[in-house]
Structure 1
Amino acid sequence: MTVQYCKAIGAKVYGTAGSESKVEYALSIGVERVSSSRNADKFKEDMRDLEGKVDIVINSLIEDFIPNSLNLLKKGGCFVELGKRGIWTEEEMKEKRPDIKYKCVAVDVMMEEDPAWFGGMLTRIKELVEEGKIESLPLKVFDMRGSDENGIDAFRYMQRAQHIGKVIIKIPTPFKYLELDTENHKSDVFGPEKVGNNHEYGIHVITGGLGGIGKIIIKWMLEEGVRKIAILSRSANNDSLRDIPEIKDYLNTDVVQIECIKCDVSILPQVENAFREIFTKFGETNQIHGIFHAAGILMDGAIASQTMEMMESVYAPKVYGAWNLHECCEKFELNKNLKHFVMFSSVASLLGNFGQTNYSAANSCLDSLVEYRRNKGMCGTSIQWGPWIEQGMAANLKQHLEKVGM
């Protein structure tokens, strides 16, 4: 990335590399000359004709490479140190080359101390990528569950220090395997402009689908290839889908079908009627492949201030809703084709949280329901989520980062 940035602003670039393949790659992206990053004497000899002619040195090497690189700098040049070990102090640098500027760059520290600078740099890089002046790095992709190359092989590959660019471990989608185009650095995630017949045909049901988390689930499903989604919500109507920027573009295709069904999931007859409506609208009775239960509300307060009404308000959508979904799976014989029965629980059910006794208890019920289903041979997963960036304190953190320039 550094080479591409320097080339984009018109600089001539000279560099080092540790293997023949890396030398070849560096030359292919425009480096004028490449020497060894393993042998300081060879580096000194290869770069001898550049002594006193270089404007900037960007260094991450140690020992003799530092003085050898300093010899290349012209008077008034700049030495940028990216390394963390074996680096020179400002006093050592002043003693050797008092005429140059010396900058130690620790990005991990600078992004905390000066987030506005860091955010600005990311923005400039983004603009260069959009303008086509910088390309993404080479990718070496390993399939987590691959038979030839898997996740363990990825770490072994990195240990050999022969990789160029980034090593990627591909996690399979729960709906369908998506191929990663390593040549063009793109995945075949299904965007609004790329919908077709190569997708997951089953129906997926989401409760609380019009809430903040629900919208994220819908967008994720669409990107993963799901094309039939039923949203159960107390305030559901299909017109409201057009107001959701994350998904409205998908609605302009003939392949995607999203139906909003008005339903209070805490009331069993309403849930039963909702499933009957799903069967009617989608024209299929046994093709529900996934149920994702994300409905829920917060009614926080210290134990002393909790009332039965507050407890009931929290339990109704989460606990009663989850059990009603389970009951409908039994009643309509959905379990034989069901692949995903996912409960959106919370880490509060495991660790607790101040003022959220009712919420913690309700989520524990979701965990127990999944355990019950699995003991009966039915599918079930309960995810004890931490904070979501779209809600609560995490949302405030996002706003804070934006204010300071990130």
Structure 2
Amino acid sequence: MGLLEGKVAIVTGGAGAIGRAVSLGLAAEGAAVLVNDIGATLDGTGRDLGPAKRVAEEIIAGGGRAAVSTLSASDLGNAEKIVAQALGELGGLHSVIHIAGILRDNIFHKMTWEDWTSVLDVHLNGGYAIARAAAPHFRQQNGGAYVFATSTSALIGNFGQANYMAAKMALIGLARGIALDMRRFNVRSNCIAPLAWSRMISSLPTQTEAEKLRVERLQRMSPDKVAPLVAYLVSDAAAEISGQIFGVRNNEIYLFNQPRPIRTLHTAQGWAPASLTEMMPALRSAFTPLEQSSEVFTWDPV
């Protein structure tokens, strides 16, 4: 008996590298999986119905149960159809894992409105839509679990990804808002920041030796390492865990801190620009450095 025996999960982006690993990992723990993937290219264009079908076939070939959806979860109407399909074909719904995403990388002053809106639509609006569509069912059955894929690009930073960073950081707010609003219905909501080789990071530049080394490290990080944490977080064993941000990096699992006040300035007279000019240096040593993800995760994965 696996941790998810008798459970049903929806995985958006369920046929990509990480999504496929998660879909197969959930199935290995006994879950029936609705594999949702439109089969788009990295920038969100095109459609290929094959990948989702192949992942579902892998699950079925391994003795599991699976269904396929190629609807875009970014549309609320589609999201409601996806949830209805899980309930109808697979007989229930206990977790939603939102991994679907695209990239439209560009340095900010060259980023187009389409670059901005298309990325937010898939990551953030898609996360909202599929979560909102599942919420009434979770409330009615008094239980459910969400996992949203965020990124260290949002938590720390990367060049040329202001749209992606904004979308992934917004997902953290969405996940925590759901955790607060729905805990009375025993619904949990968490985020994961997976560091694994996938098409979402295959576009990283490799022009310098440092960039090449970074990509080599990332290529050693298997998407399969992400699946166990997701399976655990949506299982009953994690019933007390909600509103958290986890990371996965090969065999490492870590918990991210979340913004809280770390140092204060106070004056009984209130503040003026001139007095702030004088006192602000007192906070400077606690400022967060302007770093990229690669400058924080400097050690080799094991």
TM-score, with normalisation over the residues of structure 2? 0.58
C-alpha deviations, 1:154-182, integer Å up to 9, x for none?
xxxxxxxxxxxxxxxxxxx9x72xxxxxx
1:258 equivalent in structure 2: 66
Q: 1:383 aligns with which of 181, 192, 197?
A: 192
How well do the aligned residues superpose, as a CA RMSD in angstroms? 2.9
For residues 95-114 of structure 1, the aligned pairs below 5 Å read none
1:88 equivalent in structure 2: none
Q: 1:343 aligns with which of 148, 152, 176?
A: 148
Question: Residue 265 of structure 1: CA displacement?
Answer: 1.0
Question: Residue 250 of structure 1: CA displacement?
Answer: 4.0
For residues 208-227 of structure 1, the aligned pairs below 5 Å read 208-223=13-28, 225-227=29-31
For residues 198-209 of structure 1, the aligned pairs below 5 Å read 200-209=5-14
Q: 1:289 aligns with which of 94, 98, 107?
A: 94
Preserved CA contact (<8 Å) 2:23 2:35: no
For the structure 1 residues 305 and 329, does the alpha-carbon distance in structure 2 shift closer, same or farther, using more than 3 Å as the test? same
1:372 equivalent in structure 2: 177
2:38 maps to 1:234: yes
Percent identical: 19
Question: Residue 290 of structure 1: CA displacement?
Answer: 1.1
Question: Matched residues in 2 for 1:365 and 1:357: separation?
Answer: 12
2:205 maps to 1:397: no
For the structure 1 residues 399 and 309, does the alpha-carbon distance in structure 2 shift closer, same or farther, using more than 3 Å as the test? closer
Question: Residue 291 of structure 1: CA displacement?
Answer: 0.7
1:117 equivalent in structure 2: none
Question: Matched residues in 2 for 1:362 and 1:209: separation?
Answer: 19
Preserved CA contact (<8 Å) 1:206 1:214: yes
Q: 2:114 aligns with which of 304, 309, 316?
A: 309
For residues 155-194 of structure 1, the aligned pairs below 5 Å read 176=3
1:363 equivalent in structure 2: 168
Alignment-mate amino acid for residue 227 of structure 1: A
Alignment-mate amino acid for residue 67 of structure 2: E
C-alpha deviations, 1:264-310, integer Å up to 9, x for none?
1111111111212222212x3xx311110000001111111111111
TM-score, with normalisation over the residues of structure 1? 0.44
C-alpha deviations, 1:84-137, integer Å up to 9, x for none?
xxxxxxxxxxxxxxxxxxxxxxxxxxxxxxxxxxxxxxxxxxxxxxxxxxxxxx
Q: 2:83 aligns with which of 259, 264, 275?
A: 275
Preserved CA contact (<8 Å) 1:389 1:398: no
Question: Matched residues in 1 for 2:161 and 2:103: separation?
Answer: 8
For the structure 1 residues 296 and 338, does the alpha-carbon distance in structure 2 shift closer, same or farther, using more than 3 Å as the test? farther
Preserved CA contact (<8 Å) 1:346 1:363: yes
Stretches of structure 2 lacking an aligned partner (at least 5 in a row): 40-46, 205-212, 221-302
For residues 239-250 of structure 1, the aligned pairs below 5 Å read 240=51, 243-244=54-55, 248=57, 250=59
1:46 equivalent in structure 2: none
C-alpha deviations, 1:169-220, integer Å up to 9, x for none?
xxxx9x72xxxxxxxxxxxxxxxxxxxxxx6111010000111111111122
Question: Matched residues in 2 for 1:217 and 1:266: separation?
Answer: 20
Preserved CA contact (<8 Å) 2:34 2:86: yes
Question: Residue 261 of structure 1: CA displacement?
Answer: 1.1
Question: Residue 334 of structure 1: CA displacement?
Answer: 4.8
Question: Matched residues in 2 for 1:399 and 1:347: separation?
Answer: 13
Question: Matched residues in 2 for 1:353 and 1:203: separation?
Answer: 35
Preserved CA contact (<8 Å) 2:138 2:144: no
Considering fraction of residues, name the structure with more strand: 1
Alignment-mate amino acid for residue 251 of structure 1: I
Question: Matched residues in 1 for 2:219 and 2:143: separation?
Answer: 42
For the structure 1 residues 366 and 241, does the alpha-carbon distance in structure 2 shift closer, same or farther, using more than 3 Å as the test? closer
1:145 equivalent in structure 2: none
1:326 equivalent in structure 2: 131
Q: Helix, strand or coil: the match of 1:325?
A: helix
For the structure 1 residues 248 and 233, does the alpha-carbon distance in structure 2 shift closer, same or farther, using more than 3 Å as the test? closer
Question: Residue 382 of structure 1: CA displacement?
Answer: 1.0
For the structure 1 residues 200 and 367, does the alpha-carbon distance in structure 2 shift closer, same or farther, using more than 3 Å as the test? same
Tell which structure's C-alpha radius of gyration is larger: 1
